[in-house]
Amino acid sequence: MGKSYKIGIIKGDGIGPEIIDEAIKVLDATASHFGFELQYEEFLLGGAAIDETGSPIPQETLIGVNRVDAVLFGAIGGPKWDNLERHLRPETGLLKLRKEMGTFANLRPAIVYDELVNASTLKPSVVEGVDIMVVRELTGGIYFGEPREYTPQKAYNTMVYTKEEIARIAKVAFDIAMKRNKRVCSVDKANVLEVSQLWREVVEEVAQEYPEVELSHMYVDNAAMQLIRQPKQFDVIVTGNIFGDILSDAASMLSGSIGLLPSASVGSKVGLYEPIHGSAPDIAGQGIANPIATIASAAMMLRYALNEIEAADAIESAIKKVLADGYRTGDLSAYDAKEIVSCSEMGSIIANYVAKS
């Protein structure tokens, strides 16, 4: 047996436990095939943590994530906890986890699989071949800015970015672009926001360190339009927290299913790897969730956190093969399906493909 890695597991709420179980199934098959070992340690977060401890993020979780090599996360939240005070809600726990882990960069690939090009609501000619990486700043901006206040008569939030915060996220984007098609589009609202003026100036400074990378700028409203109009013009998009939150979700729907796409939240310490979709409590426990996004997130974890590139490639190839062979979960049943499979069956098929790779 080769290297051994410690992986933190956060199953969360809703379909979280189901999809994480399938990702673990694939990871175990991958580790066995490529000769390394994975040791898992489970932590609580979100609604499950509230029910057990009264807190959306127990201290044990904050301490525990610092002793692992990476964290694989499912999804949190649901109607059961929607009426709690804001500081007790599941989403507040996730924001605190990201902040404490120092995961300032959210990597959100938007890929259109050839086998599912008809799943998009856009014309195949528009989305065929789309391969975009959205790099979203994750721990600054309006979600964390102070002061902030809510009253029934007036509420306000503050958007704040420092030069250091902008520079470090820009470097992540340019480094990724160097491994792709060497194009970065920085998205802001510099025509009306002072914070965006600083954002643009700092990104241009960082760009001087990457002469091979072509840098362009786009206002966020135009970027949203261009993602729908001509998405293939983009390679890497870098933007702030709130703009990235919106644009990455818009980009994800180019693929036709939010159940297909992974994400990574990385920084200076341990990375957090998770599907982009939510906890889908309406289908939890029915065995019909699509685990592909979570399995793809596990592949990103192998690639970016553990540097097990060959293993990551094998999982991603297995996902493409399972789609090419016509296996579909229910959310994709209308698109060239040869066999509709359950969440567990999809995980098993992908794991078997990896084992035979």
The per-residue pLDDT for range 156-170, each reduced to its tens digit, is 999 999 999 999 999
Helix axes 163-178, 194-207, angle to 10 degrees: 40
pLDDT at 152 exceeding the cut of 70: yes
What pLDDT does residue 260 have? 87
Same domain, 153 and 102: no
What pLDDT does residue 172 have? 94
pLDDT band at 252 (very low <50, low <70, confident <90, very high): confident
Using one digit for the tens of pLDDT, what is the confidence trace for 48-63?
999 999 999 999 999 9
pLDDT at 320 exceeding the cut of 90: yes
- Residues of the chain with pLDDT > 90, as a percent, come to 85
Same domain, 289 and 323: yes
Average pLDDT, the chain: 95
Using one digit for the tens of pLDDT, what is the confidence trace for 212-245?
999 999 999 999 999 999 999 999 999 999 999 9
Last residue of a domain, one of 255, 278, 298: 255
pLDDT at 195 exceeding the cut of 80: yes
pLDDT band at 1 (very low <50, low <70, confident <90, very high): low
Instruction: Return the active site residues.
Output: 143, 189, 221, 245, 249
pLDDT at 11 exceeding the cut of 70: yes
Last residue of a domain, one of 204, 239, 255: 255
Same domain, 219 and 294: no
Same domain, 166 and 198: yes
Same domain, 243 and 303: no
What pLDDT does residue 151 have? 97
Token pair recorded at residue 142: 């309006």
Same domain, 212 and 267: no
Pairing of the two strands 131-137 and 105-111: antiparallel
Are 235 and 216 a contacting pair, CB within 8 Å? no
pLDDT at 256 exceeding the cut of 80: no
Last residue of a domain, one of 255, 279, 299: 255
Same domain, 65 and 94: yes
> Residue 198's domain is classified under what CATH number?
3.40.718.10
Domain that holds residue 276: 1-113+259-357
Peptide bond into 56 cis (omega under 30): no
Same domain, 8 and 85: yes
Same domain, 274 and 357: yes
Using one digit for the tens of pLDDT, what is the confidence trace for 94-124?
989 988 898 999 999 999 988 889 888 899 9
Same domain, 105 and 143: no
Number of domains the chain contains: 2
pLDDT at 73 exceeding the cut of 90: yes
Are 138 and 265 a contacting pair, CB within 8 Å? yes
Q: Which of 43, 62, 53, 54 is nearest to 88 (CA)?
A: 54
Using one digit for the tens of pLDDT, what is the confidence trace for 278-293?
999 999 999 999 999 9
Same domain, 216 and 267: no
Same domain, 128 and 250: yes
